[in-house]
Amino acid sequence: MSARYVQPLRILIQFCFLAFMLWLGVRFYQFVHYVRGGGTAPFVPRPDGIEGFLPISGLLGTASWLKGNGINGIHPAAVVVFLTVLLVALLLRRSFCSWICPVAVVSECSWKAGFKLLRRNPRLPRRLDVSLRGVKYLLMAFFVWSIAVAMSPAALETFINSDYHKLADVRLLDFFLHLSPLALTVILSLLLLSLFLKNPFCRYLCPYGALLGLVAILSPVRVTRSSERCVSCGVCSQVCPTYIDVMHKKSVLSPECIGCWRCVSHCRFNQALSMRAAGRYAVPGIVFALLVVTLFWGGTLAGKIGGHWRTALDIGEYRRLLGP
Ligand code: SF4
Ligand code: SF4
């Protein structure tokens, strides 16, 4: 099998991260259960990595840090993960979306299942598709403006140290444990829609993906096509889950590219399509995969070594916040 065919490896990495994140969720549930039970259940330490599920807290903490407040001790891991994911996007495009994000794994499994059932994934009319894609940028602009621009350093500090923010992770857990009828309907509708359309949440609604896409425009790594070797078979454009017309591009600059390698993997003409750094140096699939994983883990490790990982909230504070 060609060294460019990295899809099994990518899917393996996606599922490893998904399993790890489920494990984090279970450990966090057990921790909250212990605190709420007044210590009657077995003690499980709070997994700090759970803060990776708090990108808004990461944005708040990053804005606060950039405005001179230092990295907060309430959810420091949220800041570390947020900055790490931005760094991954800066160097390796939106590879976080196609190699790590748990939402994208579920979404990808859904549209592939839908394809098996229907033999196709319909596409929205172009105008509607473009308009809906704008929604995620509007959401991103709203969050970036209202948090990173409009809030003063003092306001950020006050909010970060509020009881509301301290419990952001517990609120998220409770949200999923006790889904309201409305939330359940929205989630089920998105899941159902994901059977037909490719990645509707990521494509139209995710403000995190929108931000990563804009950062990724600066990435030196991109899919590059050789017009001399390309035979214009169109396979790359057909397999792209974000509908980029790869066959007619010299290199893919689009913020919609999630760095999934599907186009490179499926091109049967050697050297016609490759992932290249600075437009010149071919990046082998295995190297790209190693870089994604190493950068992500390395970033979180740097946060731990730098003392910005463990929350300053102790068990007594959690008892106060979660007590009757
Ligand atoms: S799959 Fe390869 S050969 Fe076919 S159009 Fe794309 S780059 Fe060209
Ligand atoms: S252009 Fe290639 S790497 Fe980018 S999203 Fe499309 S298939 Fe994936």
Residue with tokens 């959401």: 139
- 3-class secondary-structure state, position 178: coil
Ligand 1 within 6 A of 269 CB? Answer: yes
Ligand 2 within 6 A of 151 CB? Answer: no
| Average pLDDT of the residues in 239-261 | 96
Q: What is the DSSP letter of 42?
A: P
Ligand 2 within 6 A of 242 CB? Answer: yes
Contacts of 114 (CB under 8 A, 6+ apart): 121, 194, 195, 196
CA of 245 to the centre of ligand 2 (A): 9
| 74-to-42, 43, 192 alpha-carbon distances in Å | 24, 21, 37
Residue having the nearest C-alpha atom to atom 2 of ligand 2: 263
CA of 77 to the centre of ligand 2 (A): 30
Q: What is the pTM of this model?
A: 0.94
pLDDT at site 2: 66
pLDDT tens digits along 128-185: 999 999 999 999 999 999 999 999 999 999 999 999 999 999 999 999 999 999 999 9
User: Which tokens in the block code for residue 94?
Assistant: 């939106």
Ligand 1 within 6 A of 239 CB? Answer: no
287 strand-pairing partners: none
Q: pLDDT at residue 192 above 80?
A: yes
Ligand 2 within 6 A of 272 CB? Answer: no
pLDDT at site 38: 85
Best residue among 240, 244, 267 to mutate for probing ligand 1, ranked by most atoms within 8 Å of CB = 267
Which one, of 216, 217, 235, lies nearest residue 225 by Cα?
235
Q: pLDDT at residue 61 above 90?
A: yes
* Whether the Cβ atoms of residue 208 and residue 214 lie closer than 8 Å to each other: no
Give the count of beta carbons closer than 10 Å to the beta carbon of residue 24. 17
**Phi, psi (5° rounding) for residue 222?**
-160, 160
Q: Which ligand is nearest to the CA of 92?
A: 2
Average per-residue pLDDT for the chain:
95
Ligand 2 within 6 A of 221 CB? Answer: no
Q: What is the DSSP letter of 204?
A: I
| Average pLDDT of the residues in 34-51 | 92
Q: pLDDT at residue 1 above 80?
A: no
274 strand-pairing partners: 224
Which ligand 1 atom is at minimum distance from the Cα of 232? 5
